Structure 1
Amino acid sequence: MKKDMLSEMQKNEIMKLIMGYMDEELDVDMGNMQAMLMLDFILKEIGPYIYKAGVDDAARFIGDKLEDLYELTI
C-alpha cells in the first residue's frame, strides 16, 4: 500500500483510535511510536485485503449496472 495514502491528520486520528482501543480493551498503554508501528503494519499487511475486497465489490456493482443497462437496450 502506498506510504502516503493517508494524510498526517488521518494518521494521527487513527493512531489515537489505536491507542484508545489498546488502552480500553487490552489495558495496554501504547505510545505514539508503537501506535505508528501498529498502523504501518495494518496498512502494509491487512490493507491489501481490504482494498481487494473494495475493488471486488465495486466490480460487482458495476457489472450489475452494466447488466441492467444491457437489459434496457434489448
Structure 2
Amino acid sequence: MAIQLQKDAEKQALGSIKRFFSEELDEDIGDLKARLVLDFFLKEVSPTVYNQAMKDAQAYFMEKASELGDVRHEVEFDYWKKPRPKP
C-alpha cells in the first residue's frame, strides 16, 4: 500500500527532492525525475515507515490502557455509609 500525499504535501515533497539533489548532489533534476524519486520512496519505503508508526502507536495506546487500572476508583453508593450528624 503506497501512501497517498495531499496535493500541497506532494508539491512540497517534490520541491524538497529537487533541492536535495541540487544542494547535496550537485545535480539539478526536473519535475519528472523528482516525481520518479518520490513515487519510488512512497511505494518502496513508506510501507515500512507506516508499519513502524502503527507499531509505535499501538505500543503507546497499550501502555496507556494498562495504566487505567492504576487510576483510583471512586467509591460507589457511599451516601448511607457516612455518619450523619444527629439533628
Fold similarity call, TM over 0.5: yes
Partner residue, 1:41: 40
- The offset of 1:9, in angstroms, is 1.8
Q: How far apart are the structure 1 equivalents of 2:44 and 2:72?
A: 44
- The offset of 1:2, in angstroms, is 4.2
TM-score (norm 1): 0.88
For 1:31, the aligned partner's letter is: G
Identity of aligned residues (%): 32
Q: How far apart are the structure 2 equivalents of 1:63 and 1:36?
A: 38
- The offset of 1:71, in angstroms, is 2.8
Partner residue, 1:58: 57
Structure with the higher fraction of residues in helix conformation: 1
Q: How far apart are the structure 1 equivalents of 2:20 and 2:56?
A: 28
In structure 1, the gaps of 5 or more residues are none
Partner residue, 2:81: none
TM-score (norm 2): 0.76
Q: How far apart are the structure 1 equivalents of 2:45 and 2:2?
A: 13
- The higher radius of gyration belongs to 2
Partner residue, 2:31: 32
Partner residue, 1:68: 67
| Matched length | 73
Partner residue, 2:79: none
The CA RMSD over aligned residues, in Å, is 1.7
Moved over 6 A (4+): none
